[in-house]
Structure 1
Amino acid sequence: MGFDKEAGSSSRTLTPIPREDTPLLGKQRPLSSQAKTFANVFIAIVGAGVLGLPYAFKRTGWLTGLLMLFSVAALTYHCMMLLVRTRRRLESVDGFSKIASFGDLGFTVCGWIGRVVVDIMMVLSQAGFCVSYLIFIGNTMANLFNSSPATHVAAYVSSRIWGISAKSFYIWGCLPFQLGINSIKTLTHLAPLSIFADVVDLGAMGVVMADEAGIVWKNGANVQAFGGLSVFFYGMGVAVYAFEGIGMALHLESEMEDKRKFGKILAIAMAFIALMYGGFGLLGYLAFGANTRDIITANMGKGLISTIVQLGLCINLFFTFPLMMHPVYEIVERRFWGGRYCIWLRWLLVLLVSLVALMVPNFGDFLSLIGSSVCCGLGFVLPSLFHLLVCKEEMGWIGLSTDVGIFVLGLVLAVSGTWYALTEIFFS
């Protein structure tokens, strides 16, 4: 296989240069207990994608949506463990130095090509998450302040402020403030915002689910169990996006105090998240049926609690933006600026992300695009490929067939799902 022994020491030789695996606080944190590891897995996976699940259930049907969610959860867990097993095999058997990140693993297995592929996919996925944040903020703010309950579903998108659409107005309004907070060199001062984001996420989900449960109890909408094969790739893309956190798998395992129990804790966390996602998506679809919007909070009406929840989510995602973009800055600055801080590169990236957000009309379709393209590559294709290359000599035919099957499935989902999502975005 010809692994490069220098790859194993890449984390040591590149220590002074920030990388995609650099801790957010800039220093090594103490090892995590089982409870903290569970919380870290939850934080790494749960994000804005959950808000598009009810709309995905509307498109795919509630039973199809549940089957997709649980299948993707199981497959994502398996692929995260493939990465962990691959690293353990390289470090314990082949004698490589500490492999700290997904990029390190790609470099160890496939040389510089492996690291470049992982870096590109990490940049696209992280930037894609931030695009979805801006779309959510723009559409939600337009829905709150530029429409009334009596207006058509799409009226808030077509309403205009100073000659431009309301959504575009709010996204452009975010730009100068994003340029400012993304100019902060270190994330030390922004780290508390991650805790705030998690609290807001959980609180908002709880309020939305309670509101939906009340509507279902009084008068549930008519729903369908199956949406047909034509929306299969759309649903898979959204499900993969919702569970995207595989880039943190190696980091989470390395931080755990008792690494032998990582698989068990990860399985429990993934099962809990899958059940939570399933309940959230199902309740939203049962409550609003065919009227379910691409961002479920847009169905909540104009009450005080609804407004507070939606504004809280917007503030949460606004301040999560620089946290999610930080790995992008580390990778781009390492490759194009010698690993040194570069403010104009950061501003250029923020501007590019904002421009993409302005051009994408639908939150749900964009989730499907990111999930189908880079998330399938990161989540399924690369883990199965790396594990196959490293462990093929000691695997039986079942293990080989499983890795090859996941690799092929990931490619099919990535290519077909990306084509479907692009068709929906540009031609629907």
Structure 2
Amino acid sequence: MELQKMGGETVTEMLNGTLPDSDKAAVLEDGYEEEERTLAEQEEFLPHIASKKLNQFTDYEGKTSFGMSVFNLSNAIMGSGILGLAYAMRNTGIILFVVLLISIALLSAYSIHLLLKCAGVVGIRAYEQLGLRAFGHGGKVVAGVVISIHNIGAMSSYLFIVKSELPLVIQTFLGLSGSNGEWYMNGNVLIIIVTVCVILPLAMMKHLGYLGYTSGLSLTCMFFFLISVIYKKFEILCPLNETHSEKPTIYYNGHNVTDEVCAAEFFTVNSQTAYAIPILAFAFVCHPEVLPIYTELRRASKRQMQNVANVSILAMFSMYLLTAIFGYLTFYGSVEAEMLHTYIRVDAADKLVLCVRLAVLVAVTLTVPVVLFPIRRAIHQLLFHKKDFSWLRHVIIASCLLIIVNLLVIFVPNIKDIFGVIGATSAPSLIFILPSIFYIRIIPNEKEPLLSRSKIQAACFATLGFVFMVMSLSFIIVDWVTTGKSNGVGH
């Protein structure tokens, strides 16, 4: 460089004012060029530092495609609660149900937006690490425990469906009139076989992205369920158990009630309406899976992951809405809390209904490994955060979790009561409360002041979560006290 060539004499001459103006210009020009080169090198170097910081909490370079990520997140959203949506519509009416479903879908998308924004600011893609960043070790523990409790409850609800439905499906396939104590008709034995032969091998996968194919198969089964519900609407006549075209006239206390039984309600409120709101709210719980899926997304960015979430929520919203409408318009006031049971009342030997029950069994079975991943990740973050990956530990954690879930399903008689309380506390925490308070704590006040619109919205969102939690617990307790019977809500 010219400045270096001239050395100390040139600098001295500049300071003393004895250097000619033309030489001064040359020296200053070279100095500016050197400064620009230095800044350019810094600009090129700093992104590498930033990327290292971004990847500090990720142990895997994302390789999962957009489509597979959508399958995984959609499968995480799609829960056994889809079987109860027609019952929820029965207790709210079509208009109120649609308004509530749209509202919950939008709130869920907003909640995911808060999570992704927090993750983008601090470069963290683990729910538990967001808790650590926001509230220290206590926040990390709370996030890990809430995720574990909720997902253990969800896995147990899926295996309860296997326990209750699989023996009946086998019985129908074999043409048996009842069980004579055969081992293949024992639900407890069957869930152990399904767990060991199907769920455990899938849970051994190191990365969640590999389950995109099974998630796609699970969603295909639920899509078959939806098509069957639509088809049955035009085959089953109201009132139930009638196979001929003429509807009999039903009288009650001298009044013709046939039209009332088979008439759709557009807006209604009854003693069971309060349960419909938590059912709809919990139908979109997928937040424990969002950040693990984000971690494994190829060319991951906040915008791309938000698109994954939006597509998944929109797809599940469509399936939920169509299932609820056609299921309700098939049975009207006769629809049961578990819609498959209503079809069985009409014709237990119906081959299509049998195939639908089998498809639902496949769907919920293939969902269990996806739900298990966030629990195992939470345990890793809480207990083994500083240790490298170990296949032995990976297998042991998955096996222990599945053993716990199987024991719950087999030995706890009033599991719905427990899940009702778990669902009423963990689901609002994951959807509303934790993302909001993380956002308020993590986003710097210099970037968004505490009284900014975004943080005020997040505070209102957290308050709404507390209202949901108190309301759900109150109705469950009132139901226990007044009827002695729980209608616990599950995902």
Q: Which of these residues, 319, 326, 342, is aligned with residue 276 of structure 1?
A: 319
Q: Which of these residues, 264, 289, 295, is aligned with residue 248 of structure 1?
A: 289
Q: Which moved more, 1:119-128 or 1:177-186?
A: 177-186
Per-residue deviation, residues 253-303 of structure 1 (Å, max 9, x unmatched): 552646445545644543343233122112111211232222222222321
**Distance in structure 1 (CA, Å) of the matches to 2:197 and 2:68:** 32
Q: Match of 2:277, as an amino acid?
A: M
Matched with 1:427 is 484
Matched with 1:389 is 441
Q: Which of these residues, 218, 221, 225, is aligned with residue 204 of structure 1?
A: 225
Q: How many residues align?
A: 389
**Distance in structure 2 (CA, Å) of the matches to 1:112 and 1:216:** 59
Larger radius of gyration: 2
Alpha-carbon distance change, 77 to 322 in structure 1, aligned in 2, over 3 angstroms: closer
Per-residue deviation, residues 390-427 of structure 1 (Å, max 9, x unmatched): 33732455333322211111012123213433655782
Q: Match of 2:113, as an amino acid?
A: M
Q: Map 1:68-107; keep pairs closer than 5 Å.
A: 68-88=100-120, 90-91=121-122, 98-107=123-132
- Structure 1 residue 332 displacement after superposition: 3.8
Alpha-carbon distance change, 370 to 62 in structure 1, aligned in 2, over 3 angstroms: farther
Matched with 1:406 is 461
The answer to whether the aligner puts 1:354 opposite 2:406 as a matched pair is yes
Alpha-carbon distance change, 344 to 256 in structure 1, aligned in 2, over 3 angstroms: closer
Q: Is the 8 A contact 2:117 2:302 kept in 1?
A: no
Q: Match of 2:63, as an amino acid?
A: P
Any unmatched runs of 5+ in structure 1? Answer: 1-7, 16-26, 92-97, 148-155
Q: Once superposed, what is the RMSD of the aligned Cα atoms?
A: 3.9
Alpha-carbon distance change, 71 to 229 in structure 1, aligned in 2, over 3 angstroms: farther
**Distance in structure 1 (CA, Å) of the matches to 2:457 and 2:237:** 41
Q: Which moved more, 1:336-345 or 1:249-258?
A: 336-345
Q: Is the 8 A contact 1:187 1:323 kept in 2?
A: no
**Distance in structure 1 (CA, Å) of the matches to 2:421 and 2:229:** 25
Q: Match of 2:314, as an amino acid?
A: A
Q: Which moved more, 1:44-53 or 1:401-410?
A: 44-53
**Distance in structure 1 (CA, Å) of the matches to 2:206 and 2:363:** 17
Amino-acid identity (%) = 18
- Structure 1 residue 179 displacement after superposition: 4.4
- Structure 1 residue 378 displacement after superposition: 0.5
Q: Is the 8 A contact 2:229 2:326 kept in 1?
A: no
Q: Which of these residues, 314, 318, 322, is aligned with residue 361 of structure 2?
A: 314
**Distance in structure 2 (CA, Å) of the matches to 1:420 and 1:160:** 37
- Structure 1 residue 104 displacement after superposition: 2.0
Q: Secondary structure at the match of 1:128?
A: helix
Q: Is the 8 A contact 1:106 1:115 kept in 2?
A: yes
Alpha-carbon distance change, 381 to 222 in structure 1, aligned in 2, over 3 angstroms: same
- Structure 1 residue 125 displacement after superposition: 1.7
**Distance in structure 2 (CA, Å) of the matches to 1:345 and 1:86:** 28
**Distance in structure 2 (CA, Å) of the matches to 1:315 and 1:262:** 27
- Structure 1 residue 202 displacement after superposition: 1.8
TM-score norm. by structure 2 comes to 0.67
Q: Is the 8 A contact 1:376 1:414 kept in 2?
A: yes
- Structure 1 residue 389 displacement after superposition: 1.6
Q: Match of 2:222, as an amino acid?
A: D
Q: Match of 2:473, as an amino acid?
A: T
Alpha-carbon distance change, 320 to 278 in structure 1, aligned in 2, over 3 angstroms: closer
| Higher relative contact order (Cα pairs below 8 Å, separated by 6+ residues) | 1
Alpha-carbon distance change, 297 to 28 in structure 1, aligned in 2, over 3 angstroms: farther
Matched with 1:120 is 145
Alpha-carbon distance change, 67 to 171 in structure 1, aligned in 2, over 3 angstroms: farther
Matched with 1:228 is 269
